[in-house]
């Protein structure tokens, strides 16, 4: 499969395509202090709680080696990213490592290691990534609405799990079967890990429920564990949480600002970004990103706050 990879100020994005279909979407932010795969020195700050400090951030060490005294520094590897949701923030998870220290592999390297044909997308000219589906998949992540033939998925992230409701009309068994395929594609496309609960329509009898179970078993991206559909149409799916899903990533502070910078880099000369005050404030607090963008455009970057809602606007100044 082809992986389109685009570097932009503050973040690298990628789409994995099967023909013209987006099967995986990624964003790797430059401001992530603890990217997965990083091996770096960490100081054990609290042995009882398993808290270590590395790269200026706290992380959860599990298991804590018996011979690692509090206050000592050793190497650890980041296994799972931090998950800030504003309600029950989760620290990154790390484990002791023998070394050597190394930076985390970048997004292009990870995709190449997975066997994809990595194709860099230039910063100028036609917006190849958007034309391939980036804006559409971001809108899907933000709206939580995923259309499929005969129905739609309504996706709601919570601190405990991701909830997916199946909505549609017509024959319920056919609706559930199409929804099962859509759920599996959604989970892969957005890199969803952790617990997922899907509310399918209630199906009478075991046979139609077994068909849905089989579809999920055959189409969900491995590894995973799942329950059989119960009489109320509920299915629970558990997958490893190796990265923030795109559904989580679009809700992080700065995401909207980084998307505007991605669009701004494609223009030439002076550029103006108009957006809500919170977005403009975030950009103003990151002058290095503004400098990166001006190097790409060859002109100044003006920031203008506006009152009306929306995703913001980028235009020549």
* pLDDT tens per residue across span 21-63: 999 999 999 999 999 999 999 999 999 999 999 999 999 999 9
Q: What letter would DSSP give residue 104?
A: P
Average pLDDT of the chain is 95
Between the CA of residue 171 and those of 177, 201, 262, 300, what are the distances in Å? 10, 10, 43, 57
- In this prediction, residue 88 has a pLDDT band, given cuts at 50, 70 and 90, of low
pLDDT value at position 86?
64
Q: How confident is the model at residue 317 (pLDDT cuts 50, 70, 90)?
A: confident
- The C-alpha atoms of residue 284 and residue 28 are separated, in whole angstroms, by 21
Q: Residue 24's pLDDT is what?
A: 98
Q: Which residues contact 292 (CB under 8 A, 6 or more apart)?
A: 9, 10, 261
Contact 220, 187 (CB under 8 A): yes
Q: Yes or no: say if 178 and 149 are a contact pair by the CB < 8 Å rule.
A: yes
């Amino acid at each position: 499969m082809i992986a389109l990879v685009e570097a932009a100020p503050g973040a690298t994005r990628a789409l994995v395509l099967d023909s013209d279909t987006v099967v995986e979407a990624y964003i790797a932010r430059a401001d992530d202090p603890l990217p997965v795969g990083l091996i770096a020195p960490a100081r054990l700050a609290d042995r009882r709680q398993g808290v270590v400090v590395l790269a200026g951030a706290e992380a959860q060490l599990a298991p804590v080696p018996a011979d690692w005294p509090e206050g000592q520094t050793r190497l650890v590897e980041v296994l799972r990213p931090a998950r800030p949701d504003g309600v029950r923030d989760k620290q990154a998870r790390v484990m002791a490592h023998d070394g050597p220290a190394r930076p985390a592999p970048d997004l292009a390297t990870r995709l190449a290691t997975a066997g994809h044909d990595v194709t860099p997308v230039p910063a100028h000219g036609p917006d190849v990534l958007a034309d391939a589906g980036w804006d559409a998949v971001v809108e899907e992540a933000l709206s939580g609405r995923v259309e499929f033939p005969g129905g739609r998925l309504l996706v709601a992230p919570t601190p405990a799990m991701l909830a997916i409701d199946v909505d549609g009309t017509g024959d319920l068994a056919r609706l559930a079967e199409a929804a099962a395929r859509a759920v599996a594609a959604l989970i892969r496309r957005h890199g969803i890990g952790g617990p997922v609960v899907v509310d399918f329509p209630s199906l009478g009898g075991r046979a139609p429920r077994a068909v849905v179970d089989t579809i999920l078993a055959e189409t969900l991206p491995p590894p995973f564990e799942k329950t059989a559909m119960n009489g109320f149409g509920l299915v629970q799916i558990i997958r490893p949480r190796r990265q923030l899903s795109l559904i989580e990533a679009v809700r992080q502070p700065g995401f909207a600002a980084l998307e505007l910078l991605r669009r701004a880099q494609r223009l030439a000369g002076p550029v103006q970004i108009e957006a809500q005050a919170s977005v403009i404030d975030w950009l103003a607090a990151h002058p290095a990103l503004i400098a990166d963008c001006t190097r790409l455009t060859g002109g100044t970057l003006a920031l203008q706050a506006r009152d009306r809602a929306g995703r913001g606007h980028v235009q020549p100044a």
